[in-house]
Structure 1
Amino acid sequence: MKGILYTGGELTDLVSFARLPAYLQAFLREQNGVVAYFGGLHIRGCVAEPAWHSLAEAWQGESAFWRSYDTVLETDIPFGQDCAGNQFLLRGDAVLWLDTETGELADLEVDFKHFLFGAEKFPVDALSMEPLRAFQQSGGVLQPGQLLSVYPPFCMATDGQQQPSIKAVSAAERLAWLASFYRQIKDLPDGQSIRFTTE
């Protein structure tokens, strides 16, 4: 992997570790999670702290993805995320991609090994890194524990007048915003007009 910004320390969450498939255990034994591609991919580790890097927090914590998203099962393992907070999940041996704005789930039709291979070979496409490239070109640097906040959301069609705003925020803030946005739009029909209000 290129552009490594962070690697997890010692394996401290052995309860979660014991529940993982052997191939993910093998990866985490070598490096207990990683932020790579300059923030384009975050693979969580089996740690208690920091919370943003904790697999257990994302899998079983108060804000676990299965608690917020109708398409996610409690048994799905949220092993990683892209720069904007979309999630990579393991269901059995299949890698799924969760669009955290809409809750849509896509089967990437690869296993974990081939997911890593695809990310290594085609990082921009495999990891949807266009927003990160734009952020970097304007001088931005994504720090470990941060995700990109993109406004307006990707799933919205706009009049094209407004340039998207991209900024770095804490991962917890971004994921909480996405879950809230999803809950508000999930029952709306396609093409529904919506208006944002600022509090």
Structure 2
Amino acid sequence: MKGIIFTGRPIADAQTFALLPAYLQDFLRAQNGVVAYFGGLHIRGCCPTPAWHSLGAAWNGEFAFWKLYESVQPTDIPFAQDCVGNQFLLRGDAVLFLDTETGEIADLEVDFKHFLFGVEKFPLDALGMEPLRRFQQLGGKLEPGQLLSIYPPVCIQSTTEARQLKPLPVLERLTYLGDLYAQIKGLADGQRVHFSPKASR
């Protein structure tokens, strides 16, 4: 992988590690999670700290994705995320994509090995890195433990040029996305919504 800005410390969460499929265990033995492509991809590790890097917390913690999103099952493994906080899940051997604004899930029709292969070959498309590239062109930089905030949200009709980009701590960004999903999940397509200034986070 290119553009590595963080590599996890050695495995320190044996309980979570034991629940993982063999191919993910093999990957994490070599490197216990990583932030690559200058923040474009974050693969979580088996560790209690830092909290933003913890696979165990994302999978079974207080704010686990299956507790927040109706489309996510308790057995889905949230092994990675993109630069804005959308999630990549393992359901069996299939890699799924969770849109964390809308809660919609898409089957990427690849397994873990081919997911990594696609990311290596076509990172911009495979990881939806256009917002990060635009942020970088404006002089921005994501640090380990940060995700890119997009306002207005992508699911709200707006021009690309009008969207504001800024870095936020991972957990703050994911909390915002979960709150957004909870508020809009019952709305019909095309329905008008109003955002307060607080919602711009």
- TM interval, shorter chain, is over 0.9
1:142 CA displacement: 0.3
Amino acid at match of 1:40: G
Amino acid at match of 1:7: T
Which position in structure 2 is the counterpart of 1:72? 72
Which position in structure 2 is the counterpart of 1:193? 192
> Secondary structure in 1 aligned to 2:96?
strand
Amino acid at match of 1:90: L
Question: Partners in 1 of 2:90 and 2:161 — Cα distance?
Answer: 36
1:198 CA displacement: 2.4
Residues matched between the structures, number:
198
> Secondary structure in 2 aligned to 1:80?
strand
RMSD: 1.0
Which position in structure 2 is the counterpart of 1:120? 120
Question: Partners in 2 of 1:11 and 1:78 — Cα distance?
Answer: 17
* TM-score where L is the length of structure 2: 0.97
> Secondary structure in 1 aligned to 2:197?
coil
Question: Partners in 1 of 2:43 and 2:157 — Cα distance?
Answer: 30
1:162 CA displacement: 6.5
1:197 CA displacement: 1.2
* TM-score where L is the length of structure 1: 0.98
Amino acid at match of 1:65: F
Alignment pair present for 1:26 and 2:26: yes
Amino acid at match of 2:162: Q
Which position in structure 2 is the counterpart of 1:173? 172
Structure 2 residue runs without a partner (length 5+): none
Question: Partners in 2 of 1:57 and 1:134 — Cα distance?
Answer: 30
